């Protein structure tokens, strides 16, 4: 079962968005990495879902999507396509994880996240 592990908000002005959410809602915003600002929305006393604010690509410049952790992005992409999903961004490799973006048959965008197996 894939679980929701976070969210990602896309903007063409992620610095401005990060400052807004930090000032208005008290989110803790980390220094950017890969045009991505990690955010923490909770504390030990009050639960929150963590996520990030990123610079959106030109073809999908704005929006919010959940991130689902899966055991295998390759298998999830194949199955999603079988059931009418559309791949927006193929599997991408980062230091410790893989990431892909899809749209379901109803038009809802979401991300897939797979942790790398560390040897």
List, for residues 67-117, the tens digit of each pLDDT value: 999 999 999 999 999 999 999 999 999 999 999 999 999 888 899 999 998
Q: What is the pLDDT of residue 37?
A: 94
Helix (H, G, I), strand (E, B) or coil at 112: strand
- Alpha helix (H) ranges present in the chain? 14-25, 73-82
- Which residue range(s) make up the domain with 8? 3-115
Q: Considering its fold, how many domains does the chain have in total?
A: 1
Q: Measured between alpha carbons, how far is residue 24 from residues 17, 19, 30, 37, 84 in Å? A: 11, 8, 16, 16, 39
Q: What is the CATH number of the domain that holds 66?
A: 3.10.180.10
| Rg of the chain over all Cα atoms, to the nearest angstrom | 15
Cα 30 to chain centroid, rounded = 15
- Token readout for 29 is 């915003």
Is 119's pLDDT higher than 80?
A: no
Average confidence (pLDDT) over 32-58: 90
- Token readout for 27 is 């989110």
- The Cα–Cα gap between 76 and 54 comes to 23
Which of the four pLDDT bands, split at 50, 70 and 90, describes residue 27? very high
């Amino acid at each position: 079962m894939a679980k929701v592990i976070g969210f990602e908000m896309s903007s063409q002005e992620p610095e401005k968005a990060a400052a807004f959410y930090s000032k208005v809602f008290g989110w803790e915003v980390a220094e950017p990495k890969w045009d991505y600002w990690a955010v923490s929305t909770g504390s030990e006393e009050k639960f929150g879902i963590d996520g990030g604010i990123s610079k959106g690509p030109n073809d999908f410049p704005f929006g919010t999507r959940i991130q689902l952790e899966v055991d295998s992005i390759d298998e999830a992409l194949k199955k999603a396509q079988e059931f009418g999903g559309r791949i927006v961004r193929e599997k991408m490799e980062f230091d410790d994880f893989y990431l892909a973006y899809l749209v379901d048959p109803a038009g809802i965008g979401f991300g897939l996240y797979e942790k790398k197996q560390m040897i």
